[in-house]
Amino acid sequence: MIEIDEARSFVLEHLTPLESERVALDEGLRCVLSEPIVATEPVPGFRNSSMDGYAVRATDTTGGPVHLRVVGTVLAGDVPTRQLAAGEAIRIMTGAPIPEGADAVCMIEETTDNPADRTVLISRVLEEGQFVRFPGDDVAVGQLLLDTGSVMTGARIGVLASQGLSTVSVHRRPRVGVLSTGDELSGSGGNLAKGKIRDVNRPMLLALLRDSGFTAVDLGIAGDDIDAITALLRRGVDECDAVIATGGVSVGDVDFVKSVLADICEGTARWMQVAMRPGKPFAYGTTGRGPTPIFGLPGNPVSTRVSFEMFVRPALRRLAGYRILERTTVNMVLDCPMPRKPDGKLHLVHVDSRMHTDGRLHIESASRHGSHLLSAVASANALAMVPDGDGPEPGDTVRAMLLTDESNY
Ligand code: AMP
Ligand code: MG
């Protein structure tokens, strides 16, 4: 058996980010920037009001309340035509340009209109610049807005839009092919023939891939047949940047994926027994110039899920250009039993964790062991990493990987 770290290093060793391409801003969501973005436009672009109210000269309000003459209105999108003179106020809406001569805004709640004589009572003494947004407050020309390697989020797309950018250069989003293998698998709904089971891994992986920001490509199902598996894997390699197959990597009589993978990957493939549970058997190799990685994951759905988290997702993040490959791990307080026996393996246990009033995440329940028990783990939000030994006791601290974490951009 080899340690998880060794298996992961072997996976990552030859992978580098995919080439860059220019995409429309909204297509870049969750892609990784391959160019720095330097501001060419100040934001705000001009002095404008941060309140609905009256633009005034701050000195006119000294010793107030004061009555000022209302000489016009300026709305967002207008260009003010009139300069403001002493003793005057101009009604102004949020985002509208501050007229020449004005240097402060009094918010509408602190004014009283008097339409009869076209005056307004300013009830408050204002300081120069009050409720005025100045050019470059947010973004100054020449400022580095986003560096190479930044992950495109909604807010960052907003920042780029504020510069008038409509396209951005990013590492290509990995296209990842998924196939299931096994004579027992049925890919369609409806009645199941005797001895058949429903294909769980393919829909699950396709969704996990999309959830991680990758493009998922459904390659279908191959039976336990060397030619069929070879054909689907080759198609995957032709069409995709990475391929995931499930099933057929154990020691069973018809576990052909590992040998097909060795065949396709010419010398780079390795069939590993990783010191983890679930997910011990794992096959991996690369082919072609890319190179294109091929992952052979064990077929039990919980094993597939765990192996995806431990090996596939980090590798695909490297292809996508991410700098942080791993999910966030945190120490959690164990509130429930989590029995295990020494077996030389790291146990990866799906758990439900919640923030408690002590400000710490607590593990409230842990799934039973059983790599076929997918429904039992489906609600988990973390994967506890339980080191070899007799297992932690309630009250102990356990390290766990957050499965829903999005902060590691
Ligand atoms: P294998 O890794 O091919 O030895 O399969 C291990 C177990 O996982 C067997 O019970 C398979 O029937 C089951 N299995 C394999 N592939 C899938 C799949 N795509 N969906 C659901 N169960 C599967
Ligand atoms: Mg099988």
CA proximity to 134, closest of 39, 50, 40: 50
Q: How far apart are CA 263 and CA 269, in angstroms?
A: 8
369: tokens are 């062991």
Say yes or no: CB of residue 278 within 6 Å of ligand 1.
Answer: no
Q: How far is CA 258 from the centre of its chain?
A: 32
293: tokens are 């990685």
pLDDT confidence of residue 189: 87
257 CA from centroid of ligand 1 (Å): 12
| Residues with a beta carbon under 5 angstroms from ion ligand 2 | 182, 247
Q: How far apart are CA 164 and CA 154, in angstroms?
A: 15
For the range 217-222, what are the long-range contacts, defined as Cβ-Cβ under 8 Å and sequence gap of 24 or more? 217/175, 217/176, 217/177, 217/178, 218/177, 218/178, 219/177, 219/178, 219/179, 219/243, 220/179, 220/180, 220/187, 221/179, 221/180, 221/181, 221/182, 221/185, 221/187, 222/179, 222/180, 222/181
198 CA from centroid of ligand 2 (Å): 13
Q: Please answer whether residues 403 and 384 qualify as being in contact, where contact means their C-beta atoms are separated by less than 8 angstroms.
A: no
70 CA from centroid of ligand 1 (Å): 78
H helices then E strands: how many in the chain? 8, 26
Say yes or no: CB of residue 185 within 6 Å of ligand 1.
Answer: yes
Specify the residue with its C-alpha closest to ligand 1, atom 14: 299
Residues 6+ apart with CB under 8 A from 316: 174, 176, 209, 212, 214, 242
Say yes or no: CB of residue 178 within 6 Å of ligand 1.
Answer: no
pLDDT tens-place values along the chain, 409 residues long: 999 999 999 999 999 999 999 999 999 999 999 999 999 999 999 999 999 999 999 999 999 899 999 999 999 999 999 999 999 999 999 999 999 999 999 999 999 999 999 999 999 999 999 999 999 999 999 999 999 999 999 999 999 999 999 999 999 999 999 999 999 999 988 999 999 999 999 999 999 999 999 999 999 999 999 999 999 999 999 999 999 999 999 999 999 999 999 999 989 999 999 999 999 999 999 999 999 999 999 999 999 999 999 999 999 999 999 999 999 999 999 999 999 999 999 999 999 999 999 999 999 999 877 777 888 788 899 999 999 999 999 999 999 999 987 655 6
List beta partners, residue 48.
Answer: 97, 133
Q: Please answer whether residues 184 and 198 qualify as being in contact, where contact means their C-beta atoms are separated by less than 8 angstroms.
A: no
Say yes or no: CB of residue 250 within 6 Å of ligand 1.
Answer: yes
pLDDT confidence of residue 238: 98
Residue type, 388: D
Q: Please answer whether residues 255 and 249 qualify as being in contact, where contact means their C-beta atoms are separated by less than 8 angstroms.
A: yes
350 CA from centroid of ligand 2 (Å): 24
pLDDT confidence of residue 407: 58
Say yes or no: CB of residue 247 within 6 Å of ligand 1.
Answer: yes
Q: How far apart are CA 92 and CA 75, in angstroms?
A: 6
Q: Please answer whether residues 202 and 179 qualify as being in contact, where contact means their C-beta atoms are separated by less than 8 angstroms.
A: yes
347 CA from centroid of ligand 1 (Å): 20
pLDDT confidence of residue 409: 60
Q: How far apart are CA 103 and CA 57, in angstroms?
A: 5
Its pTM surpasses 0.85: yes
In eight-state DSSP terms, residue 66 is E
Four-point Cα dihedral 171, 240, 8, 372, nearest 10: 130
pLDDT confidence of residue 408: 58
Q: How far apart are CA 311 and CA 309, in angstroms?
A: 6
